[in-house]
């Protein structure tokens, strides 16, 4: 699994291997039968390997713990800060419908225009050719501008964006914790702000049968963080006091907090799947179950 993150040398001094060529990604999964091809592909192995490597990397660790922060990580956070600033500069417009505020399209048009430049700020000069390819994943990671919706497929595009940066050697094996705690966590904050500001619809939501309207990965990585915790058990995450006291340390609880802010009524009704998960005896069982569920979804 870690092969992706084991690239030799430092990104500054090593020229890319000559056979590395880049292309603009195009949609390859168009019908059900294409799924089998995807599951057998190197891309699928790379993607799941990346998710699982990070899952191990954050096991038992708090968001607030100490970890190495490299220059590319800082640059990725700066990129996300730019997206955040653009939200402030693009207030929602008055419109008859409550959901799907059209100002999102204005915000998205800016990203569409600037994405390659933003990616170019993160990758070294000798890899400049990769920017157009990698930028597509960034653009796909913030939601759909036609439908003004956001869902786990968009989240997967952001994970793929980070996976690409590992494949070209911009991110490395010792960036693991920072990828999740600094970059992905900042991404989640920006996505929550988008969801709230422009009242985005959930994309492909399974409603009450889904885990969450918008995210999945922070529940996987967040449950890994809680494995072997001395006193927080799965049954505790439905307790408001526990969530309020610990959400800054654990991604999973941060997700629960956001759900309770956004939804009214009994937790068991609006988030039935999570309610069921709170009955699982251990965090490692929760983590394994969520990985199985993620692969299936």
Q: Which CATH number do you get for residue 230?
A: 1.20.120.1150
pLDDT for 12 beyond 60 = no
pLDDT at 204: 79
Same domain, 251 and 193: no
Mean pLDDT of the chain: 93
Structural domain count, the chain: 2
Q: Are residues 188 and 46 in the same domain?
A: yes
* Residue 262, in any domain of the structure: yes
Please check whether residues 155 and 268 belong to one and the same domain: no
Is 249 a residue whose pLDDT tops 70?
yes
Q: Does one domain contain both 187 and 222?
A: no
In a domain, residue 260? The reply is yes
The per-residue pLDDT for 209 is 75
Q: Confirm whether 18 is domain-assigned.
A: no
- 187/249 same-domain check: no
In a domain, 78, yes or no: yes
> What's residue 9's pLDDT?
43
**Is 239 contained in some domain?**
yes
Residue 8, pLDDT score: 44
| Same domain for 230 and 290 | yes
Same domain, 64 and 165: yes
Q: pLDDT by residue (tens digit) across 91-141?
A: 999 999 989 999 999 999 999 999 999 999 999 999 999 999 999 999 999
Same-domain status, 50 and 187:
yes
More confident residue, 169 or 19: 169
The whole-number pLDDT of residue 175 equals 97
Q: Which of 202, 225, 240 is the last residue of a domain?
A: 202
| pLDDT greater than 50 at residue 7 | no
**pLDDT value of residue 189:** 98
Q: Which of 202, 229, 264 is the last residue of a domain?
A: 202
Is 56 in the same domain as 192? yes
Residues 69, 193, single domain; the answer is: yes
CA dist., res. 233 & res. 235, Å (int): 5
Q: Assess if residue 27 is contained within a domain.
A: no
| 245: pLDDT strictly greater than 60 | yes
186 in the same domain as 94: yes
Boundaries of domain holding 250:
216-296
User: How far apart, in whole angstroms, are the C-alpha atoms of residue 204 and residue 264?
Assistant: 21
């Amino acid at each position: 699994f870690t092969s992706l993150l084991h690239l030799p040398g430092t990104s500054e001094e090593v020229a890319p291997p000559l056979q590395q060529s880049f292309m603009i990604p195009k949609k390859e999964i168009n019908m059900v039968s294409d799924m089998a091809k995807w599951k057998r592909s190197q891309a699928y192995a790379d993607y799941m390997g990346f998710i699982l490597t990070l899952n191990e990397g954050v096991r038992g660790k708090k968001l607030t713990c100490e970890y190495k922060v490299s220059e590319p990580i800082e640059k990725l956070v700066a990129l996300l800060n730019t997206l955040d600033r653009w939200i402030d500069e693009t207030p929602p417009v008055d419109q008859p419908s409550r959901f799907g505020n059209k100002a999102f399209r204005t915000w998205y048009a800016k990203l569409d225009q600037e994405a390659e430049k933003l990616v170019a700020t993160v990758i070294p000069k000798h890899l400049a050719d990769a920017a157009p390819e990698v930028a597509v994943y960034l653009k796909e990671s913030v939601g759909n501008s036609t439908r003004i919706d956001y869902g786990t497929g968009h989240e997967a595009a952001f994970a793929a964006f980070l996976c690409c940066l590992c494949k070209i050697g911009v991110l490395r094996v010792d960036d693991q914790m920072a990828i999740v705690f600094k970059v992905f966590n900042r991404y989640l904050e920006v996505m929550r702000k988008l969801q709230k500001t422009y009242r985005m619809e959930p994309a492909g939501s399974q409603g009450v049968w889904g885990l969450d309207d918008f995210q999945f990965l922070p529940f996987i990585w967040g449950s890994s963080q809680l494995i072997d915790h001395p006193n927080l058990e799965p049954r505790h995450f439905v307790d408001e006091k526990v969530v309020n006291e610990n959400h800054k340390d654990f991604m999973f609880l941060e997700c629960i907090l956001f759900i309770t802010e956004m939804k009214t009524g009994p937790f068991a009704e609006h988030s039935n799947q999570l309610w069921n998960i709170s009955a699982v005896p251990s965090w490692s069982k929760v983590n394994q179950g969520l990985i199985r569920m993620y692969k299936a979804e």
